[in-house]
Structures are given as C-alpha cells and as structure tokens.
Amino acid sequence: DAKTTQPTSMDCAEGRAANLPCNHSTISGNEYVYWYRQIHSQGPQYIIHGLKNNETNEMASLIITEDRKSSTLILPHATLRDTAVYYCIVRVGGRDDKIIFGKGTRLHILP
C-alpha cells in the first residue's frame, strides 16, 4: 500500500506558486520522498526527491518538515503545462527497491 496521503485535487492560478502537500507519517529514517507527475496520456515524469533537507531544482522545490512526516512540493510559477496528476511517493530502496503509487493530486492550473 502507498505510504502517502494527498488531496484529491487542487486549483492554482497561472503564474502563481502551486503548493502541493503530502503526508507520510509512517516514513522510516532511510526512506526518500519522491515526487512524480503524470501529464495526460504520458508516463510519469520524475520531478524531485529528498531525504530530510529541502531541495530545489529547475522544476520545483521540495520542503520536508523536520519530523519528516510531511512535505510540500512547490512549483514556483505555475503554467498551464503544469496541469497534471502529482504523485508523492516514499521510496524504500535497497533490495526491495520499488515505488508504490498512491492516488495523487490532480492539479488544475487556471488561466
């Protein structure tokens, strides 16, 4: 079963920052938080990942709380092309490496 919970859907105005929350209260110390998104009719696309520090790349920022029980993905200037389903995933790693998808958040960017 997925170890994360996310809101079913969210709206964000174009040009604004989109903040997508995720709860992962049962995360273990060696498990990473990964974010993917799936644009309609495409395979999921990697966005960003982190362990306990905040991370930033060219696509997004990831803020992880100090207790690591929740995180927020931030798209700083959302565009219409960011409309997608966003998945927050806890990756086990090691010999049992695999990722289990939850239901994700359907993000609608409004013009």
Q: Is 23 in the site for another protein (CB under 8 A)?
A: no
Q: How far apart are CA 23 and CA 72, in angstroms?
A: 9
Among 18, 24, 27, 104, binds another protein (CB under 8 A): 104
Question: Which of 13-21, 44-52, 62-70, 76-84 is the region at the interface with another protein (rule: CB under 8 A)?
Answer: 44-52
Among 22, 73, 87, 88, binds another protein (CB under 8 A): 87
Q: How far apart are CA 62 and CA 77, in angstroms?
A: 14
Q: Is 102 in the site for another protein (CB under 8 A)?
A: yes
Q: Is 7 in the site for another protein (CB under 8 A)?
A: no
- Provide CB contacts within 8 A for 67, sequence distance 6+: none
How many residues belong to the site for another protein (CB under 8 A)?
19
The dihedral built from the CA positions of residue 79, 41, 3 and 105, taken in this order, carries a sign that is positive
Q: Name the strand (E) or helix (H) holding 41.
A: none
Contact positions toward another protein, by CB under 8 A?
Answer: 34, 36, 42-46, 49, 85, 87, 91, 97-104
